[in-house]
Amino acid sequence: MSELPSLEGRRCLVTGGSRGLGLTICRTLTRAGAKVALTYSTDELDAEEATRLITAEGAAPIVFKGSVSDADHARQTIKTLLERWGGLDVLINNAAITQVLPIALLEEEDWDQVMDTNIKGVYLFSRAALRAMIRARKGHILNIGNFASERVIEAPTHYAASKAAVRGFTESLAREVGRHGIQVNMLAPGLMEVGLGTILPQHRVDEYLGQCAMGRIGSTWEVAAMCAFLVSDENTFMTGAKIVMDGGL
């Protein structure tokens, strides 16, 4: 992995940080010198393994269990971090879920579950974090989107819709809070070796590879390195941006 920007002393929260891309982001931020906290929803073993791996990078994370769609969980998580750290510099809204279902088989509860996690969670955690960031007149909110909201390619309808909503939320929030010195951006990865890339049928993965200029899926480390740049002092003037890392679809 290439040299990372310095995040020495940065106080960072990553939702959905116990596995997949979220875990790699936590490990990368820790390598760059940041203090890291993460949330997870249910799997205790994942959380324990994540704690072990992140600690091996140089600092033990603060870990919170709960659903990102629970407003009390969002408020309490931020409250605890402010009490322990005295502030919050970076929020990375990474938590997301999907199911590979055609719309004819998509139940209302499936739609609601994806929307609650993928966009309501972004709203709740951003709202909870913003008061402290506005008071400090600085901060970074980075929302993890997906290529499905940016490119015309077959993807689960409710998942694509939720990530398109994240894009709109990012653009609007960036305009609202920019005057307070807060930058809000969205990073949209393509298929990776985790998440959607592991549950799509092989013919769909082959379709992706056939359209991708680089002819491969992405690495979570590549995406996490971009996250580190976007929340660092090296990113001085980018906000409301949608950065797509999909290998050239």
Rg (CA), the chain: 17
Does the active-site annotation cover 40?
no
Instruction: Determine the 3-state secondary structure of 161 from DSSP.
Output: helix
| Inter-residue contact 230 to 10 (CB < 8 Å) | no
Look at the alpha carbons of 228, 229, 230, 235 in this order and tell me if their dihedral is positive or negative.
positive
Q: Which is catalytic among the residues 40, 123, 159, 208?
A: 159
Query: How far is the C-alpha of 170 from the C-alpha of 1, rounded, in Å?
Result: 28
Both tokens assigned to 12: 């960072």
Instruction: Determine the 3-state secondary structure of 40 from DSSP.
Output: strand
Supply the DSSP symbol for 86: S
| Active site amino acids | 159
